[in-house]
């Protein structure tokens, strides 16, 4: 197979990813894409993301899934993390459902994936991460953890999902800040735990870290 190195192959996908609401800087999205392509080429798919939000990172990963003929599962209850709720730092009034006053990012995710033309590659799993992980059976070539960022939530995602990564597969963690003045410490604690558990650090791009199982 021809190895794909560096950058998104499709300018349309790149422009949809850049335009989508979310929390994925472009350089980190491209690094995420490249890490997923490399993992899928080495151990195969599928790819799985915890924390869909409006589908921004799912476009970078969906592009990787398309390039390697696999699929991306992306898990979210679409009700937002603590830090996305009204009054918190990462809140956006546009994603509040006027009927109920609760957050609902599902329609935004659907619109993003529709615009990207990735509906055949990106599978939205709507629900709470832990019950989905508990009944999950498919070994993963690539796992991206970007769900709730409270320590108990992030660590539970790691504990319940990392066991599904194939040997040689890749774990990616977002929002890893060694310096507490740069951001919350939970993803960094998860990264340290993964290293302690034997995951081998591979790359870092901004706050994105990748490790090999």
For binding to ligand SAH (CB under 6 A), which residues are involved? Answer: 22-24, 51-53, 56-57, 75-81, 84, 105, 128-129, 146-148, 153
Token pair recorded at residue 159 = 């504990």
Distance (Å, whole) CA 34 – CA 208: 12
Show the site string, 97-136: x = touches Mg ion by CB under 5 A, - = not: ----------------------------------------
By the 10 Å C-beta count (0-12 exposed, 13-18 middle, 19+ buried), 14 is classed as buried
Distance (Å, whole) CA 36 – CA 42: 10
Residue 175 interacts with Mg ion (CB under 5 A): yes or no: yes
Distance (Å, whole) CA 44 – CA 126: 24
**Nearest approach, Cβ of residue 146 and Mg ion (Å):** 4
Q: Return the residue of 174, 209, 212, 213 that touches Mg ion, per CB under 5 A.
A: 174
The partner in contact with residue 207, picked from ligand SAH, Mg ion, none with C-beta cut-offs of 5 to 8 angstroms by kind, is: none
Give the residue from 138, 137, 165, 153 showing the smallest Cα distance to 190.
153
Give the residue from 5, 7, 4 showing the smallest Cα distance to 29.
7
Task: Determine the residue with CB nearest Mg ion.
Answer: 174
> What radius of gyration do the chain's Cα atoms show?
16
Of 129 and 210, CB closest to ligand SAH: 129
Q: Which residue of the set 77, 149, 174, 196 is catalytic?
A: 149
The partner in contact with residue 164, picked from ligand SAH, Mg ion, none with C-beta cut-offs of 5 to 8 angstroms by kind, is: none
Q: Does the annotation count 12 as an active-site position? A: no
Active site residues: 149
Interface residues with Mg ion (CB under 5 A) are 23, 146, 174-175
């Amino acid at each position: 197979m021809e190895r794909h190195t560096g950058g998104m192959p499709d300018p349309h996908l790149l422009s949809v990813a850049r335009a989508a609401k979310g929390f994925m800087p472009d350089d980190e999205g491209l690094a995420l894409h490249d890490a997923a392509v490399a993992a899928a080429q080495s151990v195969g798919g599928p790819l799985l993301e915890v924390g869909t939000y409006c589908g921004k990172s799912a476009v970078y990963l969906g592009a990787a899934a398309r390039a390697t003929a696999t699929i991306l599962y992306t898990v979210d209850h679409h009700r937002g993390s603590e830090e996305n709720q009204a009054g918190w730092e990462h809140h956006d009034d546009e994603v509040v459902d006027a009927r109920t006053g609760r957050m609902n990012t599902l329609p935004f995710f659907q619109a993003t994936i529709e615009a990207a033309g990735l509906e055949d590659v990106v599978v939205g799993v709507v629900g709470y991460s832990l019950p989905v992980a508990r009944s999950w059976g498919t070994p993963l070539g690539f796992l991206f953890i970007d769900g709730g960022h409270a320590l108990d939530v992030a660590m539970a995602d790691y504990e319940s999902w990392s066991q599904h990564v194939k040997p040689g597969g890749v774990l990616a963690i977002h929002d890893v800040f060694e310096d507490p003045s740069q951001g919350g410490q939970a993803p960094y604690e998860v990264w340290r735990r993964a290293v302690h558990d034997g995951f081998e650090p591979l790359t870092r791009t901004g706050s994105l870290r990748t490790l090999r199982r």
